[in-house]
Amino acid sequence: SWLQPLGLAHALFEVAHHALATAPDPTDRPAVARTLAKTRTETVVGTLDWTRGPTPNIALIPLAGGQWHQGAFGPRLTLVDNTRAPEVPLTGDLTPAY
């Protein structure tokens, strides 16, 4: 079955690996925190960048909007908005729910 937060959970491990692998001393918590504050890395959910903000130590998630559409073999998730993640291709149009 499809789990919506699965990508974010995977990205958490990608970021943790990046921070621990690039920190000067992965056993030094402040060093890992400083490394994370300077991190910009590609993940399964897109680019996560702690250097831009909107405030220190915050990375925004590039979200795309989806809508379930009926397909030939049942419901299908269609990507209908990529304003914040233009690299994600659209696969359908937003339709009103009746």
Strand partners, 69: 76
Distance (Å) of CA 56 to CA 18, 52, 60, 81: 19, 8, 11, 28
Give the torsion through C-alpha atoms of 29, 34, 37, 41, to 10 deg. Answer: -80
For residue 45, the model assigns a pLDDT of 84
The pLDDT tens digits of the residues spanning 14-72 come to 999 999 999 999 999 999 999 999 999 999 888 899 999 888 889 988 888 899 898 89
pTM for this prediction? 0.71
For residue 7, the model assigns a pLDDT of 83
Strand partners, 40: 49
Ranges of each domain in the chain: 6-49, 63-98
**8 A C-beta contact, residue 50 and residue 40:** yes
